[in-house]
């Protein structure tokens, strides 16, 4: 045991929906926290039935139970950062928002406005999208992909200027900073844009050619939250998170008949066949 590293105890909370396939949602969030050496806590907003091919069901817990989970975690354990993923309905979004708004001081909040699954399932109706927008003023960082940013702003994102305009418009809705993820843009590079009060910053990595991208957005936002919990500034957290996601995609898992999950623990082992 003398070789075991001693880490400071940092805690990250995910408020999101369970993914029965294990590749996205709360499962991906907790794996990501663990990969960064951060203790993961969870508030379950909903339970989905999904695999690599489709989402076949989603049921939300009551907003009262969401609030009770939040109270249980914060009153006893405490939280260094919060990641918000799919909340499922407006009632749960507003319950989480009301609780977080009462906190003083409030930990950093990374909000991933999940709207559509990788398999094409639309998670949120119009009222739910509006409820997610209401959370923006609580968020240190909002992390939409291109389709989500287009849906939130009504803008088409094709050029670098489009990225900037969309990020600025989401900031006008109250977000502290905005990371527009360029995974849907095509090309040989994966370019993300961070828009904040200090200006804009591009993050670029080589695009990983794999169909196994289930849970990529959940993993990136959780990695940013984990790095913030560990004391990184926001730019450093995004840079580390992008590098981590690229590595997890390189080591991704062929699991099921559709896009498989990332290997969240690729720094420690990879899956494969024994010779």
pLDDT of residue 116: 60
Q: Considering the chain, what is the average pLDDT of its residues?
A: 92
Average pLDDT over residues 246-261: 94
Average pLDDT over residues 231-252: 96
CA 22 to CA 195: how far, in whole Å? 31
pLDDT-derived band at 3 (thresholds 50, 70, 90) equals: confident
For the chain, list the strands marked E by DSSP.
11-19, 39-50, 55-60, 81-84, 108-111, 141-142, 177-180, 189-196, 199-206
Q: Is the pLDDT of residue 1 over 60?
A: no
| Model pLDDT for residues 116-125, shown as the tens digit of each residue | 655 555 666 7
Helix (H, G, I), strand (E, B) or coil at 74: helix
What's the predicted TM-score (pTM) here? Answer: 0.94
Q: Is the pLDDT of residue 106 over 50?
A: yes
Would 1 be classed as within a structural domain?
Answer: no
- 272 or 179: which carries more pLDDT confidence? 179
Helix (H, G, I), strand (E, B) or coil at 37: coil
- 122 or 6: which carries more pLDDT confidence? 6
Would 203 be classed as within a structural domain?
Answer: yes
Q: Is the pLDDT of residue 245 over 60?
A: yes
pLDDT of residue 275: 43
Would 5 be classed as within a structural domain?
Answer: no
Would 266 be classed as within a structural domain?
Answer: no
Q: Please give the share of the chain, as a percent, with pLDDT higher than 90.
A: 80
Task: Put residue 246 in one of left, alpha, beta given phi > 0 → left and psi -120 to 50 → alpha.
Answer: alpha
CA 88, 91, 148, 137 torsion: positive or negative?
negative
| Model pLDDT for residues 181-224, shown as the tens digit of each residue | 986 666 667 789 999 998 999 998 888 989 999 999 999 999 99
Please list, in sequence order, all residues whose beta carbon lies within 8 angstroms of the beta carbon of residue 198, skipping any fewer than 6 positions away: none
Would 263 be classed as within a structural domain?
Answer: no
Q: Is the pLDDT of residue 273 over 60?
A: no
CATH code for the domain of 237: 3.40.1190.20
Any idea what the Cα angle at residue 225 is, between residues 39 and 125, rounded to 5°? Answer: 115
Task: Count CA atoms within 13 Å of residue 238 on its CB side.
Answer: 24
| Model pLDDT for residues 76-99, shown as the tens digit of each residue | 999 999 999 999 899 999 999 999
Q: Number of folded domains in the chain?
A: 1
End-to-end C-alpha distance for the chain, whole angstroms: 30
CA 219 to CA 24: how far, in whole Å? 7
Q: What Å distances lie between residue 149 and 6, 32, 168, 173, 196, CA to CA?
A: 40, 24, 11, 12, 15
pLDDT of residue 21: 95
CA 69 to CA 175: how far, in whole Å? 25
Would 256 be classed as within a structural domain?
Answer: no
Among 134, 135, 114, smallest CA distance to 124 is for: 114
Would 255 be classed as within a structural domain?
Answer: no
What is the domain extent for residue 134? Answer: 11-250
Q: Is the pLDDT of residue 267 over 70?
A: yes
pLDDT of residue 204: 86
Tokens matching residue 162: 């489009």
pLDDT of residue 184: 61
Would 182 be classed as within a structural domain?
Answer: yes
- 273 or 161: which carries more pLDDT confidence? 161
Among 46, 42, 36, smallest CA distance to 79 is for: 42
Please list, in sequence order, all residues whose beta carbon lies within 8 angstroms of the beta carbon of residue 114, skipping any fewer than 6 positions away: 85, 86, 123, 124, 148, 217, 218
Mind giving me the DSSP string for 137-163? GG-SEE--BHHHHHHHH-----SHHHH
Neighbours of 250 (CB within 10 A): 16
Which ranges of 81-159 does DSSP label H, i.e. alpha helix? 90-101, 126-133, 146-153
């Amino acid at each position: 045991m003398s070789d075991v590293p001693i880490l400071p105890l940092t805690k990250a909370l995910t408020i999101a929906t369970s993914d029965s396939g294990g590749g996205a949602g709360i499962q991906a969030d907790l794996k990501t926290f663990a990969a960064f050496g951060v203790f993961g806590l969870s508030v379950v907003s909903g339970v989905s039935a999904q695999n690599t091919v489709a989402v076949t069901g989603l049921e939300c817990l009551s907003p009262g139970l969401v609030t009770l989970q939040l109270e249980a975690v914060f009153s006893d354990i405490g939280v260094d950062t919060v990641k918000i993923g799919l909340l499922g309905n407006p009632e749960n979004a507003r319950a989480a928002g009301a609780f977080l708004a009462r906190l003083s001081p409030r930990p950093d909040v990374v909000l991933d406005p999940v709207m559509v699954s990788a398999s094409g399932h639309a998670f949120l109706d119009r009222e739910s999208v509006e409820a997610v927008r209401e959370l923006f003023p609580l968020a240190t960082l909002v992390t939409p992909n291109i389709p989500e940013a287009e849906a939130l702003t009504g803008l088409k994102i094709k050029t670098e200027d489009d990225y900037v305009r969309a990020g600025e418009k989401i900031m006008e809705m109250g977000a502290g900073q905005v990371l527009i993820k360029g995974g849907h843009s095509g090309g040989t590079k994966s370019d993300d844009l961070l828009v904040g009060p200090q200006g804009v910053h591009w993050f670029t990595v080589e695009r990983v050619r794999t169909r196994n991208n289930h849970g990529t957005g959940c993993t990136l936002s959780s990695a940013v939250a984990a790095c913030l919990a560990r004391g990184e500034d926001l730019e450093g957290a995004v840079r580390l998170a992008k590098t981590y996601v690229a590595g997890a995609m390189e080591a991704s898992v062929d699991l099921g008949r559709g896009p498989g999950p990332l290997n969240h623990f690729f720094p420690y082992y990879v899956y494969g066949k024994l010779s």
